[in-house]
Amino acid sequence: MMVQYLEIKENHPDSLLFYRMGDFYELFFQDAIDASEALDITLTKRGHHNGADIPMCGVPFHAADGYLSRLIRKGFKVAICEQMENPAEAKKRGPKSVVKRGVVRLVTPGTITEDELLDARSHNYLVALTDASGEYGLAWLDMSTGDFYTQPVQANETNLSGVLLAALARLNPGELLVPERLFLREGLSDIVNEWRSIVSPLPSSRFDSENARRRLEDVFSIKALDAFGEFSRAEIAAAGSLLDYVELTQKGKLPRLFSPKRVRTGAVMEIDAATRRNLELSQSLTGGRKGSLLATIDRTVTGAGARMLGSRLAAPLTDPSAITSRLDMVSWFVQEDGRRMDLRASLRQCPDIERGLSRLTVGRGGPRDLAGIRDALREAGRLKSLLSAVSSDQLPVGVINCIEGLGDHSTLCGVLQSALQDDLPHLARDGGFIASGYASELDEYKQLRDDSRKLIAGLQADYAQKTGVSTLKVKHNNVLGYFIEVSPTNASKVNTDADSEFIHRQTLASAMRFTTVELSDLEQKISGAAGKALAIELGLYEKLVLEVLNQVEGIAIVARTLAELDVTSALAELAISERWNRPKIDDSLSFDIVGGRHPVVEAALAKTSEGPFVANNCTLEDQQRLWLITGPNMAGKSTFLRQNALIAVLAQMGSFVPAEEAHIGSVDRLFSRVGAADDLARGRSTFMVEMVETAVILNQSTERSLVILDEIGRGTATYDGLSIAWACVEHLHEANKSRALFATHYHELTSLTSQLSSMSCHSMRVKEWQGEVVFLHEVTSGAADRSYGIHVAKLAGLPHSAITRAEQVLETLERDGQAGNLAHLAEDLPLFAHLPTTDSTVEDSDGGNTMVDHRLKEVNLDDISPRQALDLLYELKAIEKEETKLKA
């Protein structure tokens, strides 16, 4: 057996080999060590190899999915090796023959189809990247849904890595295939590093574009690939490598795939990886979906709808007519309250058939997948009547297309409806899924089986009476089949003389077991009938699957149409519940937002008592293409910047937007430089990350782009930062000419308005009231006079002494001007000069001048709540600690 194992393992060196032995998958050698660690299961040993123990661990076959999903999530690939015959067949070849085994499938992160291993609400893309004739190309497919796309990569030496990283960030691959030769290419090291955990390097021969072309033509049964549009050699090579890899992992079985569609360069709004991350489009900065824009806007009711919404948000369109057509659909559903509600109620009944269909095509489906298709086709029929009831001249084109996409599958639906029972097993091999009345022969066998079971149940009473043992039971197990059981004390009452019908079978400490000829006859009848019934059921199952697969293209289009109806009606639902409005998108260079809001911050505020979100306008055109925004910390600058970027993304994905009005000239690329984080993994400091991101913007943004820049230059010395920020504003204004929002604390920049004709200054309003600063979160024209940074520091809980000191330093700086006197500042204001001397601080003899006393004197105990009193106590304790430190 070990010889067989080692032979198979040699062909799958990169995968853990799940070697089937009876009811277990067993792993040996290093595989066992790795898997036991990853799964936290016991590592044991079995036999010897070259004089050493062989490490071993195992997982039960029926629970393998759970273990598989954990291994895949941890980045392993698994080769599933099954027994290809039963032990009896092997024995026929000789007593020592080993059962034939073979790998039936490779489970890799990008090629899984099981619901248990996949996230229902997001796509799992297998992506290939390669080059040919000096150009790069990408292709990707979702094996579980059949989506298949390619994209040319238009980049030069300098921006290649950025362009590829942006595309990959959009796709968020489950697995990335690259030829070995690219793996080592210098310009691509960023990509390899970023996606290392999911990259599968493959021999370069698997990316041959001519072979790939033939494979594609073959698989899609077309004479020439041109039938699907124009593709570059690199795209063809990438697409072909995907087919090749899927066949390799599925051992020759290819799932149903849509024909490859090309995503034209410029067809989608380009959003680089940093911007995507910073704007928290699909993931929050902490990593999860919660708190992201996607989670906030998702009102879909099906998995397929959620996946389509995610894809649309990741890739907003640029073509105004395509966007308008999506918006027309949303508008229609906004108006049609009743139909929208009916539609969504119906969609809620629709199972995820995209994935079920894919499982059926690769032979991993089951009766529940057939039932899923039955239910979805039934709902599709209902939806079709619902939508067709409206005269077509009142319907937007998108909805008319959907009606067509829903097709007519009533015959197949009827067949599945009459064939399948209500309560279904997971696997066909368990039987029991064909409804009574569907196949008369099957019904007869089932009747026979059930009658015999009833007879057996009757026998128990019979035998109890004959033996006088009222506790006698007829039971069943897999080893003995049916048997009669009595307790040892009653055993003597069961007559086993030669002429008696009872035959002894087994003696246990707790029971004696017997059988009778009658009982074995009945058992044989039952198992014979059950076996025949199962064979018939399996035959019918195959037929039903074939019927489904004969219409696979049409059903796949139904699935996609249902997803589209879900996304569109969900966006309409969102627009109504959140009071969003339809944006106007065209080819102009406008960016005019009236009453814009940040959807995620607004949703978060709604859950607190911190008052409503304050809406703000933003007009980036003509004399004010670039807005310079100053204002205090915490006043809402970052929120304002982000909300405008999000409104552009939402509008171009075809959604209504959180604004009263929005007119946007289609944005080709969205750039942002917000937030700050070290990228220590790549050896970049915070400031370096900031500069790399800024460089991308100044090098690549155009007048069609939208740029948001938050506090450029804050990560370095004041004057360096100011100079960089200054130069960036000028460059954006003069060279890039992009529509831009630039938030800064360098109030000096406001003086640029006199030079830059298309720049205008704006600030966040605050009100000072009884010595406190109130943030109004309102954007108003004109520059801010102060930053109120110290006020925010106080809110954040900096010690009193530090706050007082900061106020003194600020006053001096403001009074004397920053430039000349910095060097003298330390001398003029010695460290902690404002504090009382050590002696008087702690041991004031006239009893009452310590800081604790000062603070206590300020407080009127009758004015504060118990909670405030507790806070005060903590504060006093902290002051006291600080004083003790000073004294020391």
Ligand X SMILES: Nc1ncnc2c1ncn2[C@@H]1O[C@H](COP(=O)(O)OP(=O)(O)OP(=O)(O)O)[C@@H](O)[C@H]1O
Annotated binding site for ATP: 631-638
Smallest distance from ligand X to CB 278, Å: 13
User: What region, left, alpha or beta, does residue 208 occupy, with left being phi > 0 and alpha being psi -120 to 50 degrees?
Assistant: beta
- Say how far apart CA 512 and CA 483 lie, in whole Å: 10
CB of 623 to ligand X, least distance (A): 25
Say how far apart CA 643 and CA 627 lie, in whole Å: 14
For residue 831, what are the β-bridge partners?
none
**With respect to ligand X, which residue has the nearer C-beta, 316 or 675?**
675
Q: Residue 470, class by beta-carbon neighbours within 10 Å (0-12 exposed, 13-18 middle, 19+ buried)?
A: exposed
Out of 169, 323, 456, 634, the residue judged to bind ligand X by CB under 6 A: 634
Contact letters for ligand X, residues 165-194 (x by CB under 6 A): ------------------------------
Is 721 a binder of ligand X (CB under 6 A)? no
Rounded-to-integer distance, Cα 103 and Cα 11, Å: 10
* In the complex, minimum distance from the CB of residue 291 to ligand X, in angstroms, rounded to a whole number: 12
- How distant is the alpha carbon of residue 673 from its chain centre? 24
Question: Does position 636 bind ligand X by CB under 6 A?
Answer: yes
Q: Quick check: 453 binds ligand X (CB under 6 A)?
A: no
Question: Is the distance from CB of 767 to CB of 626 less than 8 angstroms?
Answer: no
Q: Are 549 and 356 in contact (CB under 8 A)?
A: no
Structure tokens at 800: 């009193």
CB of 16 to ligand X, least distance (A): 46
- 777 lines the binding site for ligand X (CB under 6 A): yes
Report if residue 638 touches ligand X, rule: CB under 6 A.
yes
Q: Which is nearer to ligand X, 622 or 748 (CB)?
A: 748
Q: Which is nearer to ligand X, 121 or 747 (CB)?
A: 747
Binding residue for ligand X, selected from 124, 569, 590, 633, defined by CB under 6 A: 633
DSSP character at residue 98 = P
We find the least distance from the C-beta atom of residue 711 to ligand X, in angstroms, to be 7
- Least distance (Å) from ligand X to the CB of residue 633? 3
In angstroms, rounded to a whole number, what is the distance separating the alpha carbons of residues 852 and 227? 83
Stretch that binds ligand X, among 294-302, 404-412, 463-471, 635-643 (CB under 6 A): 635-643
> Which of 49-66 are b and which e, b meaning 16 or more Cβ less than 10 Å from the residue's Cβ?
eeeeebbbbbbeeeebee
Give the separation between CA 30 and CA 257, rounded to whole angstroms: 37
Is 383 or 634 the residue whose CB approaches ligand X more closely?
634
Site for ligand X in 832-861 (CB under 6 A): none
777-810 per-residue burial string, b: 16 or more CB within 10 A, e: under 16: bbbeeebbebbbebbbebeeeeebbeeebeeeee
List strand residue ranges (DSSP E) for 261-395, in order: 261-262, 270-271
Q: Among residues 344 and 777, whose Cβ is nearest to ligand X? A: 777
Distance in angstroms (rounded) separating the CA atoms of residues 461 and 470: 8
**Gap between the Cα atoms of 158 and 372, Å rounded:** 50
Q: Which two tokens stand for residue 294?
A: 């996607």
d(CA 601, CA 639): 8
Closest-CB residue for ligand X? 636
DSSP state of 747: G
**Cβ-based nearer residue to ligand X, 19 or 788:** 788
Query: Minimum distance from CB of 724 to ligand X (Å)?
Result: 18
Tell me how far apart the alpha carbons of residues 790 and 800 are, in angstroms, rounded to a whole number.
Answer: 11
CB of 745 to ligand X, least distance (A): 7
Nearer to ligand X by C-beta: 419 or 635? 635
Pairwise CA distance, residues 403 & 399, whole Å: 6
Write down the least CB distance from residue 770 to ligand X, Å.
21
C-beta closer to ligand X: residue 18 or 775: 775
Rounded to the nearest whole angstrom, what is the least distance from the CB of residue 634 to ligand X in the complex? 5
Closest to ligand X by CB, 230 or 748: 748
- Residue span binding ligand X (CB under 6 A) among the ranges 208-216, 366-374, 406-414, 634-642: 634-642
406 lies in the binding site for ligand X (CB under 6 A):
no
Give whichever of 161 and 787 is closer to ligand X, judged by the CB atom.
787
String of DSSP letters for 109-127: TTS---GGGS-TTS---EE
Q: Which is nearer to ligand X, 324 or 638 (CB)?
A: 638
Residue closer to ligand X, measured from CB, 327 or 648:
648
| Region near ligand X per CB under 6 A, out of 34-42, 519-527, 632-640, 697-705 | 632-640
Size of the site for ligand X (CB under 6 A): 12
Nearer to ligand X, 605 or 829 (CB): 605
Burial classification of residue 47, based on how many CB atoms lie within 10 Å of its CB (0-12 exposed, 13-18 middle, 19 or more buried): exposed
Residue 709 as a binder of ligand X (CB under 6 A): the answer is no
Binding segment for ligand X among 25-33, 47-55, 264-272, 630-638 (CB under 6 A)? 630-638
- The least distance separating ligand X from the CB of residue 776, rounded to whole angstroms, comes to 9
Choose which of 172, 639, 652, 701 interacts with ligand X (CB under 6 A).
Answer: 639
637 binds ligand X (CB under 6 A): yes
Beta strands in 146-304 (DSSP E): 147-153, 175-179, 199-202, 261-262, 270-271
The least distance separating ligand X from the CB of residue 612, rounded to whole angstroms, comes to 7
Q: How far is Cα 446 from Cα 105, in angstroms, rounded to an integer? A: 35
CA 571 to chain centre: 19
Structure token digits, residue 613: 């979100």
- Could you tell me which residues come within 8 angstroms of residue 815 by beta carbon, excluding any fewer than 6 positions away? none
Instruction: Say whether residue 278 binds ligand X (CB under 6 A).
Output: no
Q: Which stretch binds ligand X (CB under 6 A): 396-404, 544-552, 566-574, 637-645?
A: 637-645
x-or-dash string of contact with ligand X, 587-626, rule CB under 6 A: --------------x---x-------xx------------
CB of 287 to ligand X, least distance (A): 20
Binding segment for ligand X among 92-100, 136-144, 317-325, 628-636 (CB under 6 A)? 628-636
Q: Is 794 in the site for ligand X (CB under 6 A)?
A: no
Chain residues that interact with ligand X, rule: CB under 6 A: 601, 605, 613-614, 633-639, 777
